[in-house]
Structure 1
Amino acid sequence: MSWFKRELKGIITSTEDKKEAPDGIWNKCPQCKKPLHYSEQVENQYVCHYCGFHIRIGSKEYFSILFDNNEFTEIAPNLTSGDPLSFVDTKKYSDRLKDTIKKTGLNDAIRAAYGKIDGQDIVIACMDFNFIGGSMGSVVGEKIARSIDHSIATKAPFLMISKSGGARMMEAAFSLMQMAKTSAKLALLAQAKVPYISLLTDPTTGGVTASYAMLGDINIAEPGSLIGFAGPRVIKETIKKDLPKGFQTAEFVQEHGFLDFIVDRREMKDKLASFLRMMAN
């Protein structure tokens, strides 16, 4: 019977003739679960065109979105972390660094560069969550410091794009010192009257939130970003109360006065250019 076998010729493809879709061509939106083609993601700046969810991206993607013609000069690109404490958990910290560098192609959880946005000079430091959870170690602090030094020297505004799980436990006090170091550098930037814009993306937590991420002349965030210090479970156990709906989302944080604007990534470059022109005047 026809429903047990194919009657038409030419519609059966043998196994050896089937073509697999290359890895990375298709993936699912983490929020609405609908399929997204890679070319569509790039064209829409990695924002789901079905539900508007902002997919996590790294410094490579942010630089291509923000810098004019994706042209920039990187600051201290070869700076890497040491292992001052000879830290060992499930494996040596030095070995984990080598493995992560090889896997991600990054030297640490941040890249910094200077270039132009809409023809206006700017210095951008952008964190990468793929590198040990975007954790803040000594290299992160040093690159931010050098970026601020470049901003002061050239009078170019500084943009910090934060995306981090917090301090890097493998560097202990060396990591925590970066909170004071970067905050002090930002104070010098303010004294020099050079604008600082802080962009908080998903997630921005821990010591990063407690330092440079919240110190901008203008603090902005992408929609739906997780922003906070401690995790919601820790807070709930501490205060012994249920947390309000939407707690620690960018929208909740803005409602309570810690953010100036929430900006869609597709409008980010135009908004930043507008902020730069406004602050230049």
Structure 2
Amino acid sequence: MFKKNRNIAKELEGVPEVEQPKDVVVCKRCKNEVLRENYQRNLYVCPLCGHQSRMSAPQRIEMLCDEGSFKEHDRRLRTLNPLKFKGYTDKIENLHQQTGLTEAVVTGCAKIGGMPVAIGVMDARFLMASMGSVVGEKLARLFEYATRKKLPVVLFTASGGARMHEGIFSLMQMAKVSAAAGKHSQAGLLYITVLTDPTTGGVTASFAMQGDIILAEPRAVIGFAGRRVIEGTIGSKLPAGFQSAEFAQDHGFVDKIVPRGELKETLQRILALHVGHHK
């Protein structure tokens, strides 16, 4: 069978791939074709199977924030190369050119349903939203700003964990952001986290799980170490659905799973209760 498949692959060498029409999207889950216009109107959720594709930070901000209300913070903060990791500077610059982002998180202030918030959105297109020194600095500054201005924080997490290119400088961000989030909490202010696919590693082990209210998108991967690493460590198989948002909710780590189309309304209700409490 292996030889047969290899021969087929050899016969197909040089045959151009069939390009999908630009107005059509193929769902990664059900493999059906969906009109791009319908797909975008449905907030990047397949209308046939409900699969939620990953969204960029600008797309999420546009989806959630009142029109024209978002003002970005700390856009000029740029990543250095403290460990002189080979190729890291070029990689960051290439990602900047591809995504238009300067780092893996976008932070700022905005209004959701007319209510002011400090908001942060991690973007998996930028090194899988790994947590480097600038990601940590921007998030810490966001919490500090929200504490000064007495604002709630809404943070969308998505990450592969700590950024290996920065070593201990990356790991330090867990404590730094957690400390800033702690001071925000001590001031009696609201912190809402929305866990999106995937939220893993050091982000899960720190500020992603510090929210007063923890929401998640359906079927998002949520965990610390990878499945194979855990199974190799404990010497047994993990249950089906392990590290899914649904599994996390069943075991008390997530308060509510919210479909993307209901997310803005859900946040508005939570924020309105908080604003009413502080009047």
TM-score (norm 1): 0.89
Give the aligned residue type for 1:63. Answer: I
Deviation (angstroms), 1:149: 1.5
Aligned structure 1 segments of 4 or more residues deviating by more than 3 angstroms: 20-23
Q: How does 1:124-203 map to 2 (within 5 A)?
A: 124-203=119-198
Is residue 97 of structure 2 the alignment partner of residue 102 of structure 1? Answer: yes
Q: Give per-residue Cα distances to partners, 1:186-211, cap 9 Å, x unaligned.
A: 11001111100011000000000001
In the alignment, which of 11, 34, 37 is matched to residue 36 of structure 1? 34
Q: Aligned runs of 1:113-128 on 2, under 5 Å?
A: 113-128=108-123
Counterpart AA for 2:257: I
Percent of matched pairs sharing the same residue: 45
**Structure 1: distance between partners of 2:20 and 2:211:** 44
* Secondary structure at 1:108 match in 2: coil
Give the drift of 1:79. Answer: 1.2
Deviation at 1:162, TM superposition (A): 0.5
Residue 183 to residue 268, structure 1, CA distance change in 2 (3 Å) = same
Give the partner amino acid of 1:62.
Answer: R
Distance in 2 (alpha carbons) for counterparts of 1:173 and 1:62: 30
Structure 2 residue corresponding to 1:79, chosen from 68, 77, 80: 77
- In the alignment, structure 1 residue 255 sits paired with structure 2 residue 232: no
Instruction: Render the CA deviation track for 1:63-114: whole Å, top value 9, x for unaligned.
Output: 01100125310011121100011012xxx21111111111211101000121
Q: Tell me the amino acid that sits aligned with residue 49 of structure 2.
A: C
Spell out, residue by residue over 1:94-148, the C-alpha distance to the aligned partner (whole angstroms, 9 max, x if none): 1111111112111010001211000001111000101011110011111101111
CA change 1:235–1:142 in 2 (3 A) is same
Distance 1:130 1:262 in 2: 23
Contact 2:25 2:39 in 1 (8 A): no
C-alpha RMSD of the superposition: 1.2
Relative to structure 1, is the Cα distance of residues 66 and 242 closer, same or farther in structure 2, using a 3 angstrom cutoff? same
Q: 2:264 aligns with which of 263, 266, 269?
A: 269
How many Å separate the matches in 1 of 2:234 and 2:171?
25
Q: Which residues of structure 1 form unaligned runs of 5+? A: 1-19
Cα distance in 1 between the residues matched to 2:45 and 2:91: 31
State the structure with more CA Rg. Answer: 1
Q: Give the TM-score normalised by structure 2.
A: 0.90
Corresponding residue SS for 2:155: strand
Contact 2:193 2:214 in 1 (8 A): yes
Of 72-81 and 32-41, more deviation after overlay is shown by 32-41
2: distance between equivalents of 1:178 and 1:257? 26
1:201-280 alignment, distance < 5 Å: 201-280=196-275
- Count of residues paired in the alignment: 258
Unaligned runs of 5+ in 2: 1-18
Residue identity matched to 1:132: L
CA contact (8 A) 1:197 1:216 kept: yes
Q: Deviations over 1:15-63 (max 9, x none)?
A: xxxxx9764x322111111112221122111111111111101111100
Q: Distance in 1 between matches of 2:110 and 2:241?
A: 36
Between the aligned partners of 2:38 and 2:138, the Cα distance in structure 1 is 33
Which of 65, 68, 77 is equivalent to 2:66? 68
Q: 1-side partners of 2:81 and 2:173: how far apart? A: 16
